[in-house]
Protein backbone atom coordinates (compact mmCIF):
# COMPACT_ATOMS: atom_id res chain seq x y z
CA UNK A 1 0.00 0.00 0.00
CA UNK A 2 2.86 2.37 0.89
CA UNK A 3 4.46 1.59 -2.46
CA UNK A 4 1.30 2.57 -4.38
CA UNK A 5 0.98 5.83 -2.45
CA UNK A 6 4.60 6.73 -3.24
CA UNK A 7 4.03 5.74 -6.87
CA UNK A 8 0.92 7.95 -7.05
CA UNK A 9 2.77 10.83 -5.37
CA UNK A 10 5.69 10.39 -7.73
CA UNK A 11 3.41 10.37 -10.82
CA UNK A 12 1.43 13.34 -9.44
CA UNK A 13 4.64 15.28 -8.75
CA UNK A 14 5.94 14.40 -12.21
CA UNK A 15 2.69 15.59 -13.87
CA UNK A 16 2.66 18.74 -11.75
CA UNK A 17 6.29 19.48 -12.69
CA UNK A 18 5.53 18.84 -16.38
CA UNK A 19 2.49 21.14 -16.20
CA UNK A 20 4.49 23.90 -14.50
CA UNK A 21 7.31 23.56 -17.06
CA UNK A 22 4.96 23.76 -20.08
CA UNK A 23 2.99 26.62 -18.53
CA UNK A 24 6.15 28.58 -17.71
CA UNK A 25 7.50 27.99 -21.21
CA UNK A 26 4.26 29.30 -22.75
CA UNK A 27 4.33 32.38 -20.52
CA UNK A 28 7.97 33.08 -21.43
CA UNK A 29 7.22 32.66 -25.16
CA UNK A 30 4.26 35.02 -24.88
CA UNK A 31 6.39 37.65 -23.10
CA UNK A 32 9.15 37.28 -25.68
CA UNK A 33 6.64 37.87 -28.51
CA UNK A 34 5.30 40.93 -26.71
CA UNK A 35 8.82 42.27 -26.17
CA UNK A 36 9.71 41.77 -29.85
CA UNK A 37 6.48 43.52 -30.93
CA UNK A 38 7.17 46.39 -28.52
CA UNK A 39 10.75 46.74 -29.79
CA UNK A 40 9.46 46.90 -33.38
CA UNK A 41 6.98 49.61 -32.38
CA UNK A 42 9.73 51.56 -30.62
CA UNK A 43 11.85 51.38 -33.76
CA UNK A 44 8.96 52.64 -35.91
CA UNK A 45 8.23 55.44 -33.42
CA UNK A 46 11.89 56.46 -33.32
CA UNK A 47 11.93 56.67 -37.13
CA UNK A 48 8.75 58.78 -37.00
CA UNK A 49 10.27 61.06 -34.36
CA UNK A 50 13.39 61.52 -36.47
CA UNK A 51 11.27 62.46 -39.52
CA UNK A 52 9.22 64.91 -37.46
CA UNK A 53 12.35 66.49 -36.01
CA UNK A 54 13.70 66.88 -39.54
CA UNK A 55 10.43 68.55 -40.60
CA UNK A 56 10.58 70.87 -37.59
CA UNK A 57 14.14 71.89 -38.48
CA UNK A 58 13.03 72.62 -42.05
CA UNK A 59 10.14 74.75 -40.80
CA UNK A 60 12.38 76.63 -38.40
CA UNK A 61 14.82 77.57 -41.16
CA UNK A 62 12.87 80.60 -42.44
CA UNK A 63 11.76 81.91 -39.07
CA UNK A 64 12.97 85.02 -37.31
CA UNK A 65 12.96 83.34 -33.90
CA UNK A 66 15.60 80.87 -35.08
CA UNK A 67 17.66 83.15 -37.31
CA UNK A 68 20.63 84.31 -35.23
CA UNK A 69 21.88 86.78 -37.83
CA UNK A 70 18.50 88.50 -38.06
CA UNK A 71 18.10 88.55 -34.27
CA UNK A 72 21.56 90.04 -33.81
CA UNK A 73 20.57 92.77 -36.31
CA UNK A 74 17.87 93.93 -33.88
CA UNK A 75 19.99 93.37 -30.79
CA UNK A 76 22.76 95.60 -32.21
CA UNK A 77 20.22 98.42 -32.34
CA UNK A 78 19.26 97.77 -28.72
CA UNK A 79 15.91 96.01 -29.25
CA UNK A 80 14.72 93.15 -27.06
CA UNK A 81 13.67 90.54 -29.63
CA UNK A 82 11.44 88.73 -27.15
CA UNK A 83 9.28 91.86 -27.07
CA UNK A 84 9.88 93.06 -30.62
CA UNK A 85 8.60 89.98 -32.47
CA UNK A 86 5.15 90.01 -30.79
CA UNK A 87 5.04 93.81 -31.24
CA UNK A 88 5.56 93.52 -35.01
CA UNK A 89 2.84 90.87 -35.28
CA UNK A 90 0.46 92.93 -33.15
CA UNK A 91 1.02 95.99 -35.34
CA UNK A 92 0.04 94.01 -38.45
CA UNK A 93 -3.00 92.53 -36.72
CA UNK A 94 -4.03 96.04 -35.59
CA UNK A 95 -4.35 96.96 -39.25
CA UNK A 96 -7.27 94.49 -39.40
CA UNK A 97 -9.25 96.85 -37.15
CA UNK A 98 -9.01 99.88 -39.43
CA UNK A 99 -12.18 101.11 -41.09
CA UNK A 100 -12.63 100.42 -44.78
CA UNK A 101 -10.27 98.32 -46.83
CA UNK A 102 -7.18 96.77 -45.31
CA UNK A 103 -4.16 99.07 -45.83
CA UNK A 104 -1.77 96.24 -46.78
CA UNK A 105 -4.06 94.05 -48.89
CA UNK A 106 -4.53 95.43 -52.43
CA UNK A 107 -7.78 93.49 -53.02
CA UNK A 108 -11.32 94.42 -52.11
CA UNK A 109 -13.50 91.97 -50.19
CA UNK A 110 -15.74 90.08 -52.62
CA UNK A 111 -17.94 88.07 -50.27
CA UNK A 112 -19.42 90.91 -48.26
CA UNK A 113 -17.01 90.40 -45.36
CA UNK A 114 -13.88 92.31 -44.52
CA UNK A 115 -10.43 91.24 -45.64
CA UNK A 116 -8.27 90.41 -42.65
CA UNK A 117 -4.77 89.08 -42.17
CA UNK A 118 -5.02 85.67 -40.50
CA UNK A 119 -1.48 84.35 -40.21
CA UNK A 120 1.92 85.98 -40.14
CA UNK A 121 5.40 84.53 -40.44
CA UNK A 122 8.40 86.75 -39.80
CA UNK A 123 11.08 85.34 -42.08
CA UNK A 124 13.96 87.56 -41.01
CA UNK A 125 14.73 91.13 -40.00
CA UNK A 126 13.28 92.52 -43.25
CA UNK A 127 10.63 90.17 -44.66
CA UNK A 128 7.17 88.95 -43.65
CA UNK A 129 4.79 86.44 -45.23
CA UNK A 130 1.11 86.90 -44.42
CA UNK A 131 -2.10 85.06 -45.22
CA UNK A 132 -5.32 87.03 -45.72
CA UNK A 133 -8.96 86.15 -46.29
CA UNK A 134 -12.43 87.66 -46.45
CA UNK A 135 -14.05 84.42 -45.33
CA UNK A 136 -14.45 82.97 -48.82
CA UNK A 137 -11.52 84.24 -50.88
CA UNK A 138 -7.96 84.17 -49.63
CA UNK A 139 -4.43 84.96 -50.66
CA UNK A 140 -0.93 85.72 -49.48
CA UNK A 141 1.28 88.78 -49.11
CA UNK A 142 5.01 89.37 -49.19
CA UNK A 143 5.78 92.39 -47.04
CA UNK A 144 9.01 94.14 -46.18
CA UNK A 145 9.30 96.09 -42.97
CA UNK A 146 11.71 98.36 -41.22
CA UNK A 147 11.92 100.23 -37.97
CA UNK A 148 12.50 103.88 -38.64
CA UNK A 149 14.98 105.92 -36.58
CA UNK A 150 12.04 107.43 -34.68
CA UNK A 151 11.00 103.88 -33.54
CA UNK A 152 8.02 103.46 -35.93
CA UNK A 153 7.26 100.37 -37.97
CA UNK A 154 7.01 100.91 -41.70
CA UNK A 155 5.43 98.18 -43.87
CA UNK A 156 5.84 97.93 -47.64
CA UNK A 157 3.83 95.51 -49.74
CA UNK A 158 6.15 93.89 -52.28
CA UNK A 159 3.98 91.20 -53.79
CA UNK A 160 0.49 89.81 -53.32
CA UNK A 161 -1.54 86.95 -54.70
CA UNK A 162 -5.21 86.03 -54.43
CA UNK A 163 -6.13 82.44 -55.15
CA UNK A 164 -8.86 81.92 -57.77
CA UNK A 165 -12.22 80.73 -56.45
CA UNK A 166 -12.80 77.02 -56.53
Q: Where are the domains of the chain?
A: 1-61, 64-162
Residue 157 is predicted with a pLDDT of: 94
Helix (H) or strand (E) holding 25: helix 2-61
Residue 158 is predicted with a pLDDT of: 95
Residue 41 is predicted with a pLDDT of: 95
Count of other CB atoms within 10 angstroms of residue 89: 17
Alpha-carbon gap, residue 55 to 47, rounded angstroms: 12
Residue 63 is predicted with a pLDDT of: 86
Residue 148 is predicted with a pLDDT of: 86
- pTM of the predicted model over 0.85: no
Residues of the chain with pLDDT under 50: none
Residue 29 is predicted with a pLDDT of: 94
Amino acid sequence: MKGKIFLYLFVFTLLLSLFLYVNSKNIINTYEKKIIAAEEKVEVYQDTIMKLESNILDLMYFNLKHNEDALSYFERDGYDTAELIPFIKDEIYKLNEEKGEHPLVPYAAMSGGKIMINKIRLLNHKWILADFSDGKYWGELFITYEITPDQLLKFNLVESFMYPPQ
